[in-house]
């Protein structure tokens, strides 16, 4: 019960890694979970229903995190319902599908940075003051193995995920001694709807099967790491970037 009495705001928790993280924290005694979505309302409702079955309060909030006012609305709703935010997991994001460099458009670039970077920054910006009031808070930013190498996505995705890691480091440098603990999780290929096309590509799967782990990652693989970083078990970890990629960038 590592999250007894804790309130967690998890962006993009209507599916995939976000949903799995929300349910896992609920199972470990969280007081409340904020289920965020931007388009998939049914998915958010399903996540919230599963959380409530565990006897945990779930709040559903719709917000387009590409806009600062929407991020503020999300945080304000959390404070209005629970009065605090103990854990913020910036999981919402988009993938650019390996669009070739010269085919990347300004629109694609803006979309990737507005959601993957600006969205995470804005959620931190509005959540951190509430954490500082209690002199304690945990932030976990979800980047990607593409955030520590080239070729893990197209230019927009890769560059945006590098920026997410920089965001975590800056938060740590400025706020670490004020009680805010931030770390970055960098998943490799995880079985979610975002990469469904890749999972259906025999050529791509051959490359994955040739990695040290020899398999695609499951959402639970990533969730276990997120929960560790969100808990007091990792209290000495500040500003770290942790890969969970089955040896993808090695193999």
Structure tokens at 86: 């103990």
Q: Nearest CA to 113 among 157, 48, 143, 178?
A: 157
Q: Is the CB of residue 36 less than 8 Å from the CB of residue 16?
A: no
Identified catalytic residue from 37, 126, 157, 236: 157
Active-site residue 157, yes or no? yes
Find the helix packing angle between 16-27 and 219-230, rounded to 10°.
Answer: 50
How many Cβ atoms from other residues are within 10 Å of residue 57's Cβ?
Answer: 16
The pair phi, psi for residue 210, each rounded to 5°, is: -90, 0
Cα 87 from Cα 98, distance rounded (Å): 32
Question: Which residues are tagged catalytic?
Answer: 157
């Amino acid at each position: 019960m590592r999250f007894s009495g804790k309130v967690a705001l998890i962006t993009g928790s209507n599916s995939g890694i976000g949903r799995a993280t929300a349910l896992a924290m609920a199972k470990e005694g969280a007081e409340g979970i904020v289920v965020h979505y931007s388009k998939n309302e049914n998915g958010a409702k399903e996540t919230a229903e599963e959380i409530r079955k565990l006897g945990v309060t779930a709040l559903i909030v719709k917000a387009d995190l590409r806009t600062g006012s929407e991020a503020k609305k999300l945080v304000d709703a959390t404070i209005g319902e629970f009065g605090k935010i103990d854990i913020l997991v910036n999981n919402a994001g988009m993938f650019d599908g390996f669009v070739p460099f010269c085919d990347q458009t300004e629109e694609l670039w803006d979309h990737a940075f507005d959601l993957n970077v600006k969205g995470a920054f804005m959620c931190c910006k509005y959540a951190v003051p509430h954490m500082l009031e209690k002199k304690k808070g945990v932030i976990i930013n979800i980047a990607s193995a593409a955030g520590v190498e080239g070729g893990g996505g197209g230019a927009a995705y890769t560059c945006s995920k590098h920026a997410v890691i920089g965001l975590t480091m800056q938060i740590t440098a400025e706020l670490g001694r004020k009680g805010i603990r931030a770390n970055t999780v960098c998943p490799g290929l995880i079985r979610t709807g975002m990469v469904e096309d890749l999972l259906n590509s025999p050529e791509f799967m051959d490359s994955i099967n040739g990695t040290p782990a020899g398999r695609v990652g499951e959402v639970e693989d990533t969730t276990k790491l997120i929960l560790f970083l969100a808990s007091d078990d990792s209290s000495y970890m500040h500003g770290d970037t942790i890969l969970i990629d089955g040896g993808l960038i090695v193999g």
